[in-house]
Amino acid sequence: MFHNLRQLVRYRALIQSLVTRELKARYRGSVLGFFWSFINPLLLLAVYSFVFTVVLPGTHPPEIEPYALFMFCGILPWTWFSSSLTEAANSLMSGGNLIKKVLFPAEILPIVAVLSNMMHFFFGLPILLVFLVWFRPTITIVEVLWFPVVVAVQLLFTLGLSLLLAALTVHFRDIKDILSNLLTLWFFATPIIYPMHLAPGTISKTVLNANPFSHFAVSYQEILFYSGPFGHWRWLLGVAAGSVLLFLVGYWLFDRLRDSFAEEV
């Protein structure tokens, strides 16, 4: 397993090429092309702002005003996460012609799915940051330094889950349908549309603390939205340790099942 893992460094040019191809394919034939990567989050933020200032004003606590920006701090990384899992789960079956080539490393396909969606996350960040600077111009250097750490931990966590799902979906096709419903439940079990401290009851807070993505969402909110020091770093480091373990387990399972992929796809 560790030999194949070390080999990934040799495939970095191939990974970069496939990520670029995926990004170009997504907007092929459109007039605005890559500009949609900036326009889509801007339109989404505009819709949230309209809904929660005109249609549903006063439905959220005053400490999370402007609410659209609060929610966008969680929606943006969640979109990266959920889209990555959905595409990675289907990546081996959609790339079956590549897997059947003897020398092609199959793990590249779910990795490309995660990295291409991460690029869309980065494309949406400037839109978010422009409005955050306007409404909250006091982001500290310490918070800026913590931001890439949160992104790196989320990347590792997402890669581990993506490898697991990609390997298992080849043998159990029902996972694709289960995943879409599970992600919906996972979204509402994550403090994205509500602040974590307002979760009612001990049981609810226990569930939120057991949810790894809760700590990503809260970390992004504390760094980007709330004023004050980044106090969630202990939880983040705990999730980082779990993410390393998840990645190793995911890659181990993927490596164990790789010989069966060509027959199953």
Which range, of 39-43, 158-162, 172-176, 246-250, averages the lowest pLDDT?
39-43
* 5-32 core/surface letters (b: 16 or more CB in 10 A; e: else): eeeeeebeeebeebbeebbeeeeeeeee
Please give the pLDDT value at position 33.
60
The rounded Cα 183 to chain-centroid distance in angstroms is 12
202 pLDDT exceeds 70?
no
Lowest-pLDDT choice from 35-44, 59-68, 124-133:
35-44
pLDDT of residue 57: 67
Predicted structure pTM score: 0.89
**pLDDT at residue 103 is higher than 90:** no
* pLDDT score at 102: 64
Block residue for tokens 């291409």: 116
The predicted model gives 47-65 an average pLDDT of: 71
Q: Which residue has the higher pLDDT, 218 or 26?
A: 218
pLDDT tens, position by position, 205-240: 788 889 999 999 999 999 888 877 788 889 999 999
Q: How many CB atoms lie within 10 A of CB 80?
A: 23
Contact predicate 45/76, CB 8 Å: no
Q: What is the per-residue pLDDT for 2?
A: 63
Higher pLDDT, 148 or 140: 148
Q: Give the pLDDT of residue 182.
A: 94
